[in-house]
Amino acid sequence: MLKGKEIILGVTGSIACYKAVEVVSRLRKLGANVNVVMTDSAKQFVAPLTFQTISCNPVHTGVFDIKEYNIEHVSLAKKAELIVIAPATANVISKMASGIADDLLTATVLAARSKILVVPAMNEGMFRNPILQENIRKLRRHGFLFAGPSKGGLACGEEGEGRMIEPSEIVDEVVKLIGARQDLKGKKVIVTAGPTREFIDPVRFISNPSSGKMGFALAEEARDRGAEVVLISGPVGIKAPQGVRYIPVTSAEQMRNAVNNAFNVCNAVIMSAAVSDWESSGCAADKIKAREGPLELKLNRTPDIIAGLGRKKGKRVLVGFALETNGLIKNAKIKLKEKNLDLVVANRASNGYPFGSDTNRVVIIERSGKTTELPELPKSEIARKIIDKIVNIFTTKVRN
Ligand code: C5P
């Protein structure tokens, strides 16, 4: 849920520090990379070694620790998607509200452009103090987010408001802020990927250089957003993602059968596979002998899988790809219409690109004719944009 997310956890001097260790552990279990920044007072409560061991990263403490050529507070601030300050004392809250940057944590906060979540922990009297409340209001106005405190037993022996919320609640807040959206929960999505191979004899085939990277990225994105994913892929050299049903196939015919088997119970099909358009009219039983002169092959059209789905799609969302060397938008629009698709992702093939590349440049075309031209992006980012569009279509289809 937090795979690949960079989080800074700022820990300040409160007895609730020991609970911050569990926050790190939970964030890591969800896939986040956590860098812990401790203030000097925090080090009085929990040893940096504890955080270092749990986070699997060095713990950052001094503003003057300069790593290589990076100024640490700036480099930390740059790479984080979220800064969580838990526990946040009255002292650090008021320092942040005044723009003070006299230690690594406050300097990092001042340099940050990411979201900042503050999780207060203090005595009730301190929390209710009007100066602190004014500082919290000021930080909120500047976009700082707050979670808690809750009411309950405080370290001083009193009962009251000021208790840091529980580690599980802090992690829930983090997931809400930066976690993968679960907007495909309850949906079943088929993704096809890679090339197909059409054998002309036992050792030779017709195929293309598709790497499967786009389809695999789509399957991962759909999975991360809560969908149940069936990934049907031709032969590729990359590892199947975890948490999806993976069906490896070889030929267009096998891909069609696998897609049709899963089709009835699915809500969407994304055909990103580069299905071969032709197959040999009959695969020779033995290896064709090399003789002098040309070899003539008779090729038949393979089943057009997506066109077949388009004829029986019902309420399902159907997404096709169009790889063109010329007339990109015109040809893609024709495919969208003829194959009864909801979306077509058009991309240009030139000098081997985008085969095997980690990036691509695509234009997403909707049924309404709306086109979205994306700059060159990692395939994972393109997958996110395509899934966004699919979610949009689901939402409009439900409304209609
Ligand atoms: O016509 P063209 O092959 O360019 O169409 C591309 C789209 O059609 C892709 O989504 C591809 O997966 C799908 N396709 C198919 N069956 C075929 C050939 C392509 O479903 N035999």
- For residue 302, the ligand 1 atom closest to its alpha carbon is 21
Q: How far apart are CA 235 and CA 212, in angstroms?
A: 8
DSSP state of 342: S
Cis amide linkage into residue 87, ω under 30° from 0: yes
DSSP state of 274: B
pLDDT digits over 381-400, tens only? Answer: 899 999 999 999 999 876 55
The owner of tokens 């090399």 is 290
Q: How far is the CA of 83 from the centre of ligand 1 (A)?
A: 44
Contact status, residue 279 vs residue 299, Cβ threshold 8 Å: yes
DSSP state of 301: E
pLDDT digits over 185-229, tens only? Answer: 999 999 999 999 999 999 999 999 999 999 999 999 999 899 999
Task: Name the nearest CA neighbour of 364 among 397, 389, 381.
Answer: 389
Residue 346: left (phi > 0), alpha (psi -120 to 50), or beta? beta
Task: Name the nearest CA neighbour of 371 among 355, 352, 350, 347.
Answer: 347
pLDDT digits over 317-349, tens only? Answer: 999 999 999 999 999 999 999 999 999 999 988
- Structure-block tokens of residue 316: 């399902």
Q: Range with the lowest mean pLDDT among 35-49, 251-265, 289-303?
A: 289-303
Q: Which of 304, 326, 334, 342 to mutate to test the pocket of ligand 1 (most atoms within 8 A of CB)?
A: 304
Q: Enumerate the known binding-site residues for CTP.
A: 277, 287, 303-306, 321, 335, 339
Q: How far apart are CA 186 and CA 170, in angstroms?
A: 26
Tally of CB atoms within 10 A around 73: 25
Q: How far apart are CA 222 and CA 230, in angstroms?
A: 10
pLDDT digits over 133-170, tens only? Answer: 999 999 988 888 899 999 887 777 778 899 999 999 99
- For residue 252, the ligand 1 atom closest to its alpha carbon is 21
What predicted TM-score, i.e. pTM, was given to this entire model? 0.68
Q: Which of 196, 269, 305, 348 to mutate to test the pocket of ligand 1 (most atoms within 8 A of CB)?
A: 305
320 CB under 6 A from ligand 1? yes
Q: How far is the CA of 321 from the centre of ligand 1 (A)?
A: 7
Catalytic residue, candidates 17, 56, 156, 283: 156
Q: How far apart are CA 121 and CA 130, in angstroms?
A: 16
Q: How far apart are CA 340 and CA 320, in angstroms?
A: 10
% of the chain residues with pLDDT over 70: 96
232 CB under 6 A from ligand 1? no
Q: How far apart are CA 112 and CA 117, in angstroms?
A: 12
Q: Whose alpha carbon is nearest atom 19 of ligand 1?
A: 275
pLDDT digits over 342-378, tens only? Answer: 999 999 888 888 898 988 999 999 999 999 998 888 8
Q: How far is the CA of 226 from the centre of ligand 1 (A)?
A: 27
The verdict on whether 156 is a catalytic residue reads: yes
306 CB under 6 A from ligand 1? yes
- Output the CA angle 64-73-88, nearest 5 degrees: 105
Say which residues have a Cβ less than 8 Å from residue 73's Cβ, sequence separation at least 6.
63, 101, 104, 107, 108, 110, 111
- For residue 308, the ligand 1 atom closest to its alpha carbon is 20
In the chain the domains, ranked by start, together with CATH numbers, are 6-178 (3.40.50.1950), 188-280+299-399 (3.40.50.10300)
Q: Which of 249, 256, 260, 271 to mutate to test the pocket of ligand 1 (most atoms within 8 A of CB)?
A: 271
Q: How does the average pLDDT of the chain come out, rounded?
A: 92
